[in-house]
Homo-oligomer: A and B are copies of this chain.
Amino acid sequence: MKDFTEMMDAARSRGPCRAVVVGAEDDAILLAVEEARRGGIIQPILVGDRRGVAESARKLSIPVSSYRVVEARSLKEAAAEAVRLVAQGEGDILVKGLIQTADLLHAVLDRGSGLTEGRTLSHVGVFLVPASERFKEKFLLVTDAALVISPTLAQKAEIVQNAIDLAHRIGIPEPIVAILCALETVNTSMPATVDAALLAKMADRGQITGGKVEGPLALDNAISVEAARRKGIRSELAGRADVLVAPDIEAANILYKALVFFADAVEAGIVVGARAPIVLTSRADSARNKLYSLALGALARR
């Protein structure tokens, strides 16, 4: 898969994905959902205030009468109801509408929700970077910019596994994962380098599967074979990463936003690790970006 058009084609070819929208009484999300529906990517199920949804839909000339709409009296109820629908097999993915991310995740992580399997949830961003020779026609994955603040080693291992599993869905059969640090050597006063070395070894020993993991690496020697060579790094994986794993939420979030705001990258993002992917578009996302995230969610469904 070399771009988002191919991603949307792939999503479409799996047939419409039943996307359960939490808090659907919101213009921006309705527009995105309708565009994805018309594109044959999703079949929306709207959960929220029925009157609010109908009002927004009328205003935007969206034929909401052909959608399934499920009434909820509050956003909390909407979240619980949406999670129930997905857990019961009536929906494939969750889509955040007019609800706080924390409230939606809370409903997903609820013990009785049926959507968690005890695995760490993490956010993965999928990028095309116009100024990068490597990533202008090949996806770059970045994780975790949104969920786990300061992951433990065990959580990092799950974050890596989540990203590998998503990479498979978007046409990267054996992704190379770089564990990013400020440098490429193990330094016991830099815990990120210690975790990185451990994650690489865990993958060597089969504790992480489906991809190859290398670290510690700095960003330059993760994505540039030339930079890795100059540093004298002896590794077949250095410089060839498909997936960049940042040491914590700050580093990941800053990388994520640098790609969008400084490198004009095009991006889709979802939360993985639950039984159903969760699409968390935000007000800041463009319409195009929301559409791509819905396609990514549709591809990531079970």
List chain A positions with a Cβ less than 8 A from chain B.
129-132, 135, 145-146, 149, 180-183, 189-190, 192, 218-220, 223-224, 227, 230-231, 246-255, 257-265, 283-284
Jot down 6 A-B pairs with beta carbons below 8 A, ordered by A. Answer: A181-B250, A182-B252, A218-B257, A246-B251, A254-B255, A258-B258
Chain B CB within 10 Å — which of A149, A223, A254, A255 has the most?
A: A254
Q: A263's contact among B180, B192, B227, B262, by CB below 8 Å, is which? A: B262
B219 touches A253 (CB 8 A): yes
- What 10 pairs across the A-B complex have the smallest Cβ distances? A219-B257, A182-B253, A251-B251, A263-B263, A262-B263, A258-B258, A182-B249, A131-B264, A247-B250, A220-B257
Set of chain B residues within 8 Å of A219, measured between Cβ atoms: 253-254, 257-258, 261
Copies in the complex: 2
Structural contact, B261 and A262, CB atoms closer than 8 A: no
Where chain A touches its partner, the secondary structure class is loop
Given A219-B254, A251-B251, also A261-B132 (CB < 8 A): yes
Inter-chain CA distance A181–B258, complex, in Å, is: 13
A196 to chain B, nearest CB (A): 10
Note all chain B residues with C-beta closer than 8 A to A182: 145-146, 149, 249-250, 252-254
In the complex, the chain B residue whose C-beta lies closest to that of A130 is B131
